Amino acid sequence: MTLDGTNSWLLAEPGARVAAVVDPGPDDEGHLARLAGLAAERGQRIGLILLTHRHGDHSAGAGTFSALTAAPIRGWHRSFAAPLADGERLDIGGLLVDVVATPGHTSDSVSFHLPADRALLTGDTVLGRGSSAVLHPDGRVADMLTSLRRLRDLAAEAGTVILPGHGPVVVDPVPVLDRLLAARYRRVAEVRRAVADGEVNPDAIVRSLYSRVDPLLHRVARASVEASLHYLDVTDDPLRPSDHAP
């Protein structure tokens, strides 16, 4: 599921001797060698490998890349030797990078804010095009809504750009984040209506809501519908239907 490919981001302060890579991507020898080569051309060594979340299209090459560069790997998940913490400030050869917890797509999804560059690296939380799936049971709709609002607050500073995990750079992120929030609420409302109509089977809801869904994406659509069903069960949000029996 790399869509049109995973974006790997090479970050360094101009003139610095050290760089970081966010999401080295799948275990693709050519791609990883190219990333290391780009840094070497600028006289930089890779000092840190950061992961936006643990999905293989972002992280599978991290071990190989770490062996190639001797750089440590850091991500949100507790399985890492030094898990990232919300609000932590990283200093990569003078480049300051703030860690922003943005769960929702997965529980371990994290974004990176470069305040001096007004850039947000969002992994799969915000994509260059389309909207990201909340993957039940690990991903939670309530978390995604909170994360999108948090990113919207950070993106409100004029000139902020989003550097996503897939697709092109988002140069005007606030309206995009507003659309993603509205789309998420719309999707929940659609599931709520299906439930109110007596449909509780996730596969049947997927068929009624996503009539044109590619069979390959059915699993993702189902996980998204299940995430909405879970949200409707647990949330105090006004969207929660009063007539929905658990």
Is residue 166 a contact point for Zn ion (CB under 5 A)? Answer: no
Least Cα distance to 191 among 168, 215, 221, 150 occurs for 221
Task: Take residue 117 and report the two structure tokens written for it.
Answer: 């560059």
Is residue 152 a contact point for Zn ion (CB under 5 A)? Answer: no
**Smallest distance from Zn ion to CB 80, Å:** 17
Least Cα distance to 139 among 200, 54, 224 occurs for 224
Is residue 222 a contact point for Zn ion (CB under 5 A)? Answer: no
Is residue 108 a contact point for Zn ion (CB under 5 A)? Answer: no
Of 21, 44, 49, 55, the residue at the interface with Zn ion (CB under 5 A) is 55
The residue sitting closest to Zn ion, measured at its beta carbon, is 55
From the list 3-11, 78-86, 119-127, 198-206, the region that binds Zn ion by CB under 5 A is: 119-127
Contacts of residue 225, defined as CB under 8 A and 6 or more positions apart, other chains included, come to: 191, 202, 205, 206, 209
From the list 75-83, 118-126, 167-175, 229-237, the region that binds Zn ion by CB under 5 A is: 118-126
Least Cα distance to 78 among 108, 123, 102 occurs for 108
The per-residue DSSP string of 219-232 comes to: HHHHHHHHHHHHHH
Question: Which strand ranges, in their side-by-side order, compose the sheet holding 45-50?
Answer: 9-11, 18-22, 45-50, 73-74
**Smallest distance from Zn ion to CB 53, Å:** 6
Of residues 39 and 99, the one with the C-beta less far from Zn ion: 99
In the complex, the residues that contact Zn ion under the rule CB under 5 A are 55, 124
